Every structure is written in C-alpha cells, then in structure tokens.
Amino acid sequence: MPFPRADEMADLALKRVAASGAEYADIRLLNSTSQTISGEDRRIASIRDAEDSGFGIRVLYHGGWGFAASSVLSLEEVPRVADLAVEIARGSASLASERTRLVDEPVHRDRVVTPNRIDPFTIPLDRKTTLLREVMEYMQSQPEIVRSSASLWARRDRKLFISTEGTRLEFDLLAVQGEFTATARYDGRFASRSFATPHLRTGYELIEGANFMAQAPRIASQAVEKVRAAAVRPALYDLVLDPEHLALTMHESCGHPSELDRALGYEANYAGTSFLTPEKRGTFRYGSPDVNLVADNTEPETLAATGYDDDGVACQRWDIVREGLFVGYCTNREVASKIGDTRSRGSNRADSWGSVPIVRIANIGLEPGSASLDDLLADVKRGIYIEGHGSYSIDQRRYNFQFGGDAFWMIENGRRTHMLRDVIYHGITPEFWNSCDGVADRDHRRRYGFITCGKGQPGQSGWMTHAAPHARFRRVAVIKG
Amino acid sequence: MSTPNTKTWPKLTNEEEFRFLADLVLKRSTADHTVVNLHDQHTGTTRFANSRIVQNVDTRRGTLTVTVAFDGRRGSASTTDFTAGAVQDALARAERIARVSPEDPEYLPPPEPQVFQTPLTSRPETAAAGPSRRLEYANEAIGQCRIENLEAAGIVSSSVASVGVAASNGLFAQEERTEARFSLTVQADDATGWSAAAHRSIDHLKIQDRTLSAINKAKRSRDVQELAPGRYRVILEPAAAAGLWSWLLWMLDAKSYEKGTSPFAGQLGRQILDERLTVQNLPGHADLLGTGFTSEGLPSEDAVWIDKGILKQLAYDRFTAKQHGVKHIATLEAPCVSALGPVASKTQELIKQCERAILVTNFWYIRTVNPTDLTLTGMTRDGTFLVEEGQITSAVRNFRFHESPLRVLKHIDALTEPVEAVTSETGKMLVPAMVLRDFTFSSVTRF
C-alpha cells in the first residue's frame, strides 16, 4: 500500500467519478522514495532524501480526457480532485471532433515486487559516501585529472492502480544506479571519461558488483589518454559501437520513432513526430537484415518491466524491426485502435502520480547476432571503436542524427590502436541502420537505460532499458567536434 | 463556454502558513543551521493535437525541503505531505543524514537575512485561470487553424506557485509566482509553422497574433527546396537566437571557470562578443519571468553580465564566490540581451536588408559538441526559409548546425530591438533577432 487509507481514497474517487456518467476512470496512488548522493571534486556535495506522495485520477467522459492530481492525501481532497477531473473531461468532450475509445484489456488483479538481494535503502549512508569519496580521491590523485564527480541513486515506488473496469494492481518497485567521472586537462583542453552502471530494477548488489574502485584506474588513465589524443580527421569510417553507446543510438533513432502517438501527431508541438508513419508498417526497410529490434517489457530487472503499464495493460514482448523490416509500434489503449490493433502493447507510463500517462518507448533492444567483438573489428581496415555516451541530437522526425561518445579508438587493419578525441558521427536513420553488417553474439549483450527521457507537455521523464551487443556500421560520416 | 470556475482551485500555502510550517521545523531542529524551502504549485495544461484536445490535466503539488548541518555535515530531506508529523519526519530524516555525512569543506551557513526586491511575480488573472480559460484559448487557436484547413497542435498552460525559504538565522522570503504559456505548431501537410509565448499574465499570451504567425509560417513552408550544407548568412528570429544565448549563459559557471574547465577560461574582463551586445538580468521587467529571490535566499537583482561585449560576471556558487572575494552574487533568471547603436525595429527589416540569407524560426535539440570552445549542434525547425534580394523566396529543408556562439556572436551584421523569446527547450528572455555571417550548417535532413 503506498500510504494508509489508499484503498478507501480510491474507492471514494472511483465511485464519485462513476456517478458522473464517465465511461472510464482510473486512479493511481503513489509513494516514491528516492535517495541521491552526489559527489564533486573529492567532496560529498549533496545527499537528498525525497518522499513524494500523491494521487492522480484519470477520467474519460463522452470520449474526452480529464486528469487531476494532488499531493494532499486526505479524504476531503479526493472529491475535489475527482470532480475536477470530471469537469476537465467534460470540457475536453465539449470540443471533441472524435471520441477517444480504449481497446480492450483483460481485468488484472496482481501485485508486482522488484526482486532484490540487498535493499539499497538499508545500506548505511557512510558506506555509500565512503565509496564515492574513495573513487573521487583516487582519480584526483592521478596526474592531469583536475576534476571528478561520483553519484549513487536509488528509488522505491509503492503504487496502487485501480480502474473502473475492475483492475487492481499493487506495485513495490526498486531502481538503482551509480556512476563516476574523471576530467583531465591538457594543453588548454579538457576531456572527461565516465563509468556508469545501468539503471536497473534490482538491489544494491548492482553497485557492489560494479566494483567502482577496480574501474577507477582505467577511467582515470583513459581520461588522460583522451585529452592528449589526436583529433579525428573527418572522413567516412567504419564504426564499431559498444552496447552502452548503442543504447542511446537505438533510443533516439529507433525508440522514439516507434512511439505511435508521435507517428500520429500527438507530440507535434514538442518532442516531434516520426518518419515511421503507419503506412510504412510491414513494408519499410528500416535496416539491414542483421537488424532485429525487439521491445521486451518482460525481461526481469529492466526499467519498463513493471508487470503492467499505467493503463493496467500487462507487459509484453514484440518486434519493432524484424530482419530490417519495420513491423511494430509502442502503443497504449487509446492509440492502438488507430492502426487497427485490438490490444495495447502496454507502453503507457507516467513519471509520477501528478502526470498523466503517455506512450513511452519500451525496452527496445538489438537482438544478438553471431559474431564476436574481435570478429567485428577484424574486418575493419580503417574505422573507429566508440564506447559510452557523449553529444547527441536528432531532428523532430528522427531522420537526421548526430552522436558523439565517451571514448574513441582508431581501428586499423582489424585492431584497436590508439585513442582519438572529438569524434562526432552523423547520418540519416534508415541509411545508418541499413549500413549495419555485423552484430555480436549474446555473450556481448549488455543492458543500459535512461530515466531522463524527455517527452510530453508538461514534460515527463521516461524510464526504459536498451540492451545490445556490439555492432558494426559501414562508411559512416565522421566530423570533428 | 463557461466562466472560469475559481472555486475549484485549492488555496496555496500563504506567507503565514509557510511561517507556521517553517517554525515546526526550525523550533525543533537540533542542527547548527537549518533551512526550509517551500514550493507549492498548482498547474494546469490543455494540450491539443490534430486540432482536438488530447490531454487536459491539473496538478497540485506541494513540496517542503528541509536542509540541516552539524559542523559542516549536511543532509536534506523533502516531503509532499504538509501534515505536522510528516514535516517533522522530514526534519528527522535530514538530521539523520547530516549526522553520518562527511564534513563538506565547501559548506557555508545560510545567508544572513536579506532585503529583497518585490518584482510583480504574480498576476491574479493567471492565478484565477482554470480549465475553462485554457480550453477557451486552445479552442481559439484550433478554430483559426480550421478556418485555414490546417492542423493545430499545442498547449495552453497556467500555474500559480507559492515559493519560500526560511532559515534558523532569521532569513525569510516568500512570494507567489504565476506563469502562463502558449505554444502552437501548425501543420500544413508536411510543412510546419510555430509560435510560442510565456508571461506572468495569461492576458498577455496574444493567442490570435501568435496563431496567425504560426499559420503564416506553415503556409509559407509548403514549397520547399533543398540547399547544400555549408556556411550561410543567417537571420535568426528571436526564438532561434535565444537557443544560442541560453547555452552561452548556462556555461558561465564560476567553479568551472576557476578550475579551467570552462569555455570562458581566462576571459573575464575581456571582449568575448560583438561590442554592441550587452546582457543584463532584469528581474523587475514586466515581460520577463523575474523572481524576488533564489532558492538559497539570495536576492535577485539587476546585474550586467556582458557589457558591450566584455564578460563582466560569472555564475558563482557561494563557496567559490567567498574563495575569490566576490561579495555580491549576481543571478540570471531574467536575461535581456540589448544592442547599442542603430537597430532595426522588426525581423522584417532585417530580411529587407539581406541579399541572400537563411531565415531561421527556431532551433531544436541543441546540445554541446565541444565544451572547450562551446561548439553546439542542433536542428532548424518549424519555418526555415531562403531570403533573396530582401524577401522570402522559398522554404528550405531543415539544416543541422555545427557552430559556436562564441565565434558567430563576435560580429553581428545587424540586429533588432530585444523582444520576447521563448523556445521549447529554454526559458524566456528578451533578445534581438540577429543577422550573422558564415554560420555553419553541417548537414541537411529529409524535410
């Protein structure tokens, strides 16, 4: 239960909304607890412990949506919020040229709990701050490292979802992440190198398994090597991308265009639309036959694997791109029917009790191929190997992208030779994915994800995981950043 | 359309109530120093797409944050529950954290009690605006677009917030802040046009004018040609210029400057931009979103950041300021870029002056490419045009730019008076439209 009397509040709200004549309503009651520890330049700069509780009521009245939410947790506040949600929905319906209809979903009654070995909120704070201080101290004791940062983050969401259709879902979800960065200065330039665990739904065992202190020497020395490295010479290069880097490339160039609300124009005023318009489904060659992009919201520990989405739809696994062909979208109960689907893919999520759920990118990942990383490198005469995240930007229909990275190595005659700096590559999404001619095998598969995916007005932060092995792309345009 | 229903708005935490909540914490705290921050906000947004309402929301969220310190060891805890027990629990959590935190060598006690200016941060018409007022404005924009047989997508939002800071040394500030926003993307088949506004007063959104502007841009964007990437003279409309200015101003962090990891390293007191350009903070300006104080309890005041192209100010945290003997910390929440000397009155005048240039309505997805020289990238969006012999001759496919504002703002060919500018990714500022030479477009997209 997110907080005392949650069931009573839900019951009061839904009865009141049902009495208004609304055809559908749901309520989400949520208590989020988060702890963020941030270090900067050897010191612990802040430790924040946040309790965020509230409820949001969503109403569909004569085909028009209304949503109202409040952090005031009282039985007196519930009728005000419920009535406001109905009033807003009535207003929407009064201007509706088309009635919103929801595709069917079975009624679910379930409880979802994140399995974990070590609850991150039980770890003594001084153990966490000592870890961050030691890793920063180590890095800044290295020559030419002038700045450092390190952080740990954990969040627990206790949520109750109840709909007028009879679905009742309880959630107790965890997520954890940690990272650190070293910044080196040389010859008037500066450059950073980072280590980050993925954001995953697991316990503190993720941080313990990452072994920050074992990673720190590599990160510090690579920051120095990077700032001293030669700048890249602009040209066409073959690229071999690591899983962490690919997570961002997939997110921007595949994830967002596969959101059906974007393709239908819902985000036209902000996040943008999509070049993957509905008539392309089943016919458009998005990538080469090596490219299989699968949405999997059922894989344990991944961010979007929450059992059910905020429509109360069960999480699923489905194809987005199959052997290079675009075949599937991320959908919710509202937009699914607009492309003839009879069931939502369960990708409707809100970032808090105060936000209305919107279509979100699923856990979209690149399916493994059969190569090893050495195989991918061996067939490159002159290329660049890229790890991690750097600069990123993409147009509002997701055609023209540009990415940097965190670390770059020259590949010459099949071998990684030396680091480069200021590498930026750009291209057009389907041309880029059609240039993919090799994907590493399952042993190389790693999972990374995001909790800051911006979309919607008011803005919301989406959470999703993108898994991939290494992959190779031919003759990509590289410029100097 | 019904009249605004103000009775549905709950009362936000007022000054007296904030003093009561703060006292619940301050009187019970055992820490050396204690600070309480309030942010209690009620906000509503009506969102439309494909010329119909797709989202219509209203959220009340109050957050109280308690920060305490024992011997320079600090902890912070927040709650959205304003009952006495929950507020005191936030204090207990903050104290527990602080007691086991390492000492922060940069810790400073809260600022002494300050005298704050009282800019007009709240407008009653915005505070009273509810769902029906937002719906009315959305309907006005949609209706205009329907007349032209065009599709409308956008938002109308209004919010009112009670913001405060109180500390154990007597520091206290509280004010109400309102904000209204309108933005609209008009779709004419594959072409788009855009306009946006933000203001303390919902009466100043100028829905009709901005809708017509977006419609005009969408219609002009229909006949599009592709130009090769390269260096072009550009006319940046205020929103596009604001995108570059925002990144330049965000990078003025003093700590990075002092540690040599800033693109401005060594440039304080030196000419960094065209000598006609001055950047000020003007929190009292009626068309800016100024505030009376910062979250730390420092006063927001008028300040000159760049004076005739010379860098005069950095964004100091309190520790770095003390370390470097900076007594007065300037803020920059209400930026105004103004120009010295003769200027054009409107963007249209700039267009007339150009033999050949690219006119940019807005930039999108601007990100840093190289933090050392502040090279940025981003896309043109929602109205990019070729100007020839003083007039717009066609729309052009959107470009990606790859450019440093520190390079291109060193010489401005021409500019206008500062006007209101809002982008989808930044706040609000007053900024001139500008003509810049040799602006680098590195690639072109498919539309």
pLDDT tops 60 at residue A332: yes
Instruction: Quick: pLDDT tens for B379-405.
Output: 999 999 999 999 999 999 999 999 999
In a domain, A294, yes or no: yes
Residue A233 C-alpha, separation from nearest chain B C-alpha, in angstroms: 15
Residue whose pair of structure tokens reads 């120095």 in the numeric block: A224
In a domain, A408, yes or no: yes
Q: On the CB side of B417, how many CA atoms lie within 13 Å of its CA? A: 4
- The token pair at B441 is 């477009």
Q: Which of A77, A74, A160, A69 is nearest to B61 (CA)?
A: A69
For an interface test with A, give the residue of B53, B107, B187 to mutate (most A CBs within 10 A): B53
Domains detected in chain B: 6-216 (3.30.2290.10), 224-447 (no CATH)
- Which among A205, A228, A251 is the end of a domain? A228
A202 plus A315 within the same structural domain: no
Residue A478 C-alpha, separation from nearest chain B C-alpha, in angstroms: 11
A290 plus A339 within the same structural domain: yes
Instruction: Quick: pLDDT tens for B272-302.
Output: 999 999 999 999 999 999 999 999 999 999 9
For an interface test with A, give the residue of B96, B379, B441 to mutate (most A CBs within 10 A): B379
Residue A61 C-alpha, separation from nearest chain B C-alpha, in angstroms: 12
Q: Which residue of B has its CA nearest to A31?
A: B80
Residue B343 C-alpha, separation from nearest chain A C-alpha, in angstroms: 32
Instruction: Quick: pLDDT tens for A97-144.
Output: 899 999 999 999 999 999 999 999 999 999 999 999 999 999 999 999
In a domain, A379, yes or no: yes
Q: Is B139 on the interface with A (CB under 8 A)?
A: yes
The shortest CB-CB distance from B185 to any of A54, A72, A268 is to: A268
A156 plus A267 within the same structural domain: no
Instruction: Quick: pLDDT tens for B116-127.
Output: 999 999 999 999
pLDDT tops 60 at residue B5: no
Instruction: Quick: pLDDT tens for B38-91.
Output: 999 999 999 999 999 999 999 999 999 999 999 999 999 999 999 999 999 999
pLDDT tops 80 at residue B352: yes
Looking at residues B309-328, what average pLDDT do you find?
A: 97
Give the pLDDT of residue A96: 85
A259 plus A142 within the same structural domain: no
DSSP calls for A189-217? EEEEEEEEPPPBSS-THHHHHH-HHHHHH
The shortest CB-CB distance from B442 to any of A44, A56, A479 is to: A479
Longest CA span, chain B: 72
Q: Which residue of A has its CA nearest to B43?
A: A458
Burial B300-339 (b: 16+ CB within 10 A, else e): bbbbebbeebbbbbbbbbbbbbeeeeeeebbbbbbbbbbb
In a domain, A243, yes or no: yes
Give the pLDDT of residue B6: 40
Give the pLDDT of residue B11: 85
A224 plus A235 within the same structural domain: no
Residue B158, Cβ density class (10 Å: 0-12 exposed, 13-18 middle, ≥19 buried): buried
Q: Is B38 on the interface with A (CB under 8 A)?
A: no
A194 plus A101 within the same structural domain: yes
Q: Which residue of A has its CA nearest to B142?
A: A95
Residue A371 C-alpha, separation from nearest chain B C-alpha, in angstroms: 32
The shortest CB-CB distance from B400 to any of A41, A56, A400 is to: A400
Q: Which residues of A touch B441 (CB under 8 A)?
A: none
B197 neighbors B157 (Cβ within 8 angstroms): no
Neighbours of A80 (CB within 10 A): 18
- The token pair at B148 is 């032209």
Beta carbons of A190 and B260 less than 8 Å apart: yes
In a domain, A1, yes or no: no
Give the pLDDT of residue B4: 38
Q: Chain B window 353-412: which residues touch A at a Cβ cutoff of 8 Å? A: 364-372, 375, 377-379, 381, 398, 400, 402
CA–centroid distance for A80 within its chain: 34
A236 plus A303 within the same structural domain: yes
pLDDT tops 80 at residue B1: no
Per the structure, how many domains does chain A have?
2
A167 plus A244 within the same structural domain: no
A190 plus A244 within the same structural domain: no
Give the pLDDT of residue B7: 41
Instruction: Quick: pLDDT tens for B226-244.
Output: 999 999 999 999 999 999 9
A213 plus A257 within the same structural domain: no
A345 plus A278 within the same structural domain: yes
For an interface test with A, give the residue of B35, B37, B60 to mutate (most A CBs within 10 A): B60
Beta carbons of A95 and B135 less than 8 Å apart: yes
Beta carbons of A43 and B106 less than 8 Å apart: yes
Beta carbons of B80 and A188 less than 8 Å apart: no
Give the pLDDT of residue B10: 63
- Which among A181, A212, A228 is the end of a domain? A228
Give the pLDDT of residue B9: 46
In a domain, A123, yes or no: yes
ipTM of this predicted structure: 0.96
A158 plus A297 within the same structural domain: no
| DSSP code for A232 | P
- Which among A228, A254, A288 is the end of a domain? A228
Q: Which residue of A has its CA nearest to B94?
A: A49
Instruction: Quick: pLDDT tens for A368-411.
Output: 999 999 999 999 999 999 999 999 999 999 999 999 999 999 99
Beta carbons of B443 and A400 less than 8 Å apart: yes
Give the pLDDT of residue A189: 94
Give the range of the structural domain holding residue A452, as residue numbers without chain letter.
231-480
Q: What percent of chain A has pLDDT over 90?
A: 99
Band (pLDDT 50/70/90 cuts) for residue A221 is very high
